[in-house]
Amino acid sequence: MSFDAKRGLTGPDISHSQAAMPDPRQPNAIQITGLSKTYAASGTSPAKHALKGLDLSIPAGSIFGLLGPNGAGKSTTINILAGLVRKSAGRVLIHGFDQDRNPRQARAAIGVMPQELNMDPFFTPRASLEVQAGLYGVPRSERWTDELLELVGLTEQAESYARSLSGGMKRRLLLAKALVHRPRILVLDEPTAGVDIALREMLWSNVRKLNRQGMTIILTTHYLEEAEEMCDRIAIIDRGQLVLCDDTRRILEQADAKTLVMDTGGMAAIPALPDHVRAARREDGRLAVSYPPSRIRADAIIDALRGAGLPINDIASETPDLEDVFLSMTGQRPAAGSA
C-alpha cells in the first residue's frame, strides 16, 4: 500500500472526486474561517454556542493535534468537517474544496475514525468495508478491502460478525472504514481511549506510515503525552474559541514554567517564597518548586530556600509538558469524553 498526496491511497481517485478541482492556491489541508455553530434551545435547555467564529489552518501533510477540555467544541468541529453537522456560519475548505460549493468532493477528501463504536453487529468486517465503499461510490474494481483488513490486522476475523469482535478489534475496523475511499485527510477522534498497549502501538505505527506517505492526520485525544509525541502542530480550543495554535516544539519552548525538584532531607515545613513561585511536597518527600523563568531566576529561589535554613541535598530541573500548557490555557486538566 502507498499514498500519493495528490491521488490519495494507492489506486485511481474515486470517480466523483473528479467532478471539481480543488483551489490550487490553498496550501492547507483544512482551512476554517469564522466557523460558528449554535444549537437551538430545546425544552428547558437554552441555546448553546458551541463554536464562536473559529479560525483554523491545518497544514497539508502534518499530524495536527486538536485539543481542548470537554465541551470546548472539538467534536462539533469534527462533525462539521465530516458533513454530519451543519454549521451556523463560516467557511470550510477541505483539501481546497469549499464545503458549501462542492460538498461531495469535500466529503470524499476526508475520512473520520469516530470515538463511538458505531457499526452493524450482524455485518462482518469484510461486509462493513464493502458497504462503506459503496456509500462513497467507490467502484468495485477500485476497492481494496483485503489490503485494508491486512493493514489493521483483521484478516483472520474478516468473516466474523462484528458483534463477536473485541473492543480493540472494533476500533481497528473503524480505522479501516475511515480509509475505504482513499481520503487525503484522516481524522482520529480519541482513537486510543480505553485500548490496550498493543493496539495503541499498531495504530500509531499505521498513522506514522500514512503520514510519511503524504496523508494529513488530525488527532483529538485527552492523552496529552500522545499529542506531544505524535503531533507536529497543536491547537487548543476552549469554549468554542481558539486559544493557542503553534508548532508543538515551539509551544513547549515558550511555556513560561519550570520546576525544581529538591531533596531537602524530608523536612516538612515549606518556607515563604518569592512572588510567582509555588511549592509542594511530592509523595516521595521531595520538594517541587514551580516558577516562571521570565520573572525569576532559579538561583534566587535556591538562595531563598537556603536563607530560610532549608537543606538542599540534591536538585533536578523539569521542563514543562503539554499538560502544563493545557492547564494554563484552559484552567482545566484534560478528561475523556466528547466535546
* Averaged pLDDT score across all residues of the chain: 86
Homologous superfamily of domain range 3-252: P-loop containing nucleotide triphosphate hydrolases (3.40.50.300)
pLDDT at 335 over 70: no
pLDDT band at 23, cuts 50/70/90?
low
- Strand 233-238 to 63-67 pairing: parallel
pLDDT band at 222, cuts 50/70/90?
confident
pLDDT at 80 over 60: yes
Q: How far is CA 141 from CA 138, 144, 158, in A?
A: 8, 9, 19
CA torsion sign, 45 to 116 to 163 to 144? Answer: positive
pLDDT at 239 over 50: yes
Collect all residues with Cβ–Cβ distance below 8 Å to 322 and sequence separation of at least 6: 224, 225, 227, 228, 234, 248, 251, 252
Per CATH, is 256-319 categorized as 1.10.10?
Answer: no
pLDDT at 90 over 50: yes
| Residue extents of the structural domains in the chain | 3-252, 256-319
pLDDT band at 103, cuts 50/70/90?
very high
Residue 281 has which C-alpha cell? 511536597
> For 190-203, how does the pLDDT look when each residue is reduced to its tens digit (9 = 90+)?
998 878 888 889 89
